[in-house]
Structure 1
């Protein structure tokens, strides 16, 4: 079934990676910076626009995306001047930029929101999110404690059933209209999470993908990802 071209993508990539000690946006996967890899994943979904939010004062991150931006006119880079204030600020800026795009191109009905550090994210999962019919279609995956990383393989660590500990979050597809309504409530680092939790059950569905449990926040997680060849050495 052909994909409907009525969505845009916001990539939240303005984190300062303080726990990791280096910019996760610049980690290498398949020979390119992670921020570029994720932007290309977004492009595979055939969006009408891609907004990439990056931190101010990080010229290396901006430079890493420059070639991709020059090749794709639909990509807009937005600079977050206060990245230390949390993810909600980045999303607020992404929505603001998208609003300007939609004034010129009023065919954006849905918004796919992504991060940059879920290193096992793939395009089939994004396609599944976009295939959902609810107002919000979120990813669901189990919370993975870091001390489990070196004890078990991926297929052994994660149970296949739903768990009360499952995280419901990024990547997530939200209707453009609802996202605009949420914009003013996006404050701090957990603005989106509490808004999702407040939704009536008939407005949200989830797509389970336990591979999304693996993100990169600490040196130990980075070392494990490289050991598994999920990231380049």
Structure 2
């Protein structure tokens, strides 16, 4: 598995689409993480703007149905950016793979409508709650030439057991360091033709990760970014993100 160093001059030149997986119900958090506030706007809007910054052909945002506030936030940006398309997931509790399936299906429908089967070469797949994600990291993922270029980062330690958060924070800026407990995950860029082939096999929460692990090592690249460790799943993690200034206090 090859490691890619983030560089300012890594810029995406190939055609791509984006799928933002944002249909989770945030049951452990107790409130919709899509509507947490970052830089004065809902977190889902922040992530959509990051996706827009990569200049994709289309951005598919998969959201839960029956959540009008989330739908309204996406609709607001869809008016501003025509590439943005909201897709409602009527079964958000069935796992991430179901949302990804809907996203792939929507991109395929765009292809049919445009009559250009070769217009999309890669798909950038993003989550919603990695609050330190930035444009530079997404650009580095898209710049890789492997079949899959995924993000690499450490696992969250429970806050009540994490005694050295400040020390860990000071060591997170190396783009090449690969600790023993490394996670390979979202966001990632993947060859679109392969993703379509895998669509029918996506089931549950770990469908895509399982399929990626079956690829030869030389087809998988990684961009190391330990800032992505800090996703928001629990109230303690939300408090920590606010303390660090990654989310607004009114979230």
Distance between the aligned counterparts of 2:186 and 2:148, measured in 1? 11
Task: Tell me the number of residue pairs that the alignment of Structure 1 and Structure 2 aligns.
Answer: 233
| CA-CA distance at 1:71 after TM superposition | 1.3
Q: How does 1:119-198 map to 2 (within 5 A)?
A: 119-147=131-159, 151-153=164-166, 154-156=168-170, 158=172, 160=174, 161-198=177-214
2:232: which partner in 1? 216
| CA-CA distance at 1:73 after TM superposition | 1.2
Q: How does 1:57-76 map to 2 (within 5 A)?
A: 57-76=66-85
Distance between the aligned counterparts of 1:92 and 1:37, measured in 2? 23
2:222: which partner in 1? 206
Distance between the aligned counterparts of 1:157 and 1:110, measured in 2? 32
| CA-CA distance at 1:164 after TM superposition | 3.0
Distance 1:135 1:144, change over 3 A: same
RCO higher in 1 or 2 (8 Å CA, sep ≥ 6)?
2
User: TM (normalized to structure 2)?
Assistant: 0.89
Distance between the aligned counterparts of 1:38 and 1:135, measured in 2? 24
The 10-residue stretch of structure 1 (34-43 or 60-69) with the greater mean CA deviation from structure 2: 60-69
Q: Which runs of 5+ in 1 are unaligned?
A: none
C-alpha contact 1:34 1:116 (8 A) present in aligned 2: yes
1:35 to 24, 36, 44: 44
Q: Which runs of 5+ in 2 are unaligned?
A: 1-8
Distance between the aligned counterparts of 1:52 and 1:89, measured in 2? 13
1:104: which partner in 2? 113
Distance between the aligned counterparts of 1:98 and 1:25, measured in 2? 22
User: TM (normalized to structure 1)?
Assistant: 0.96
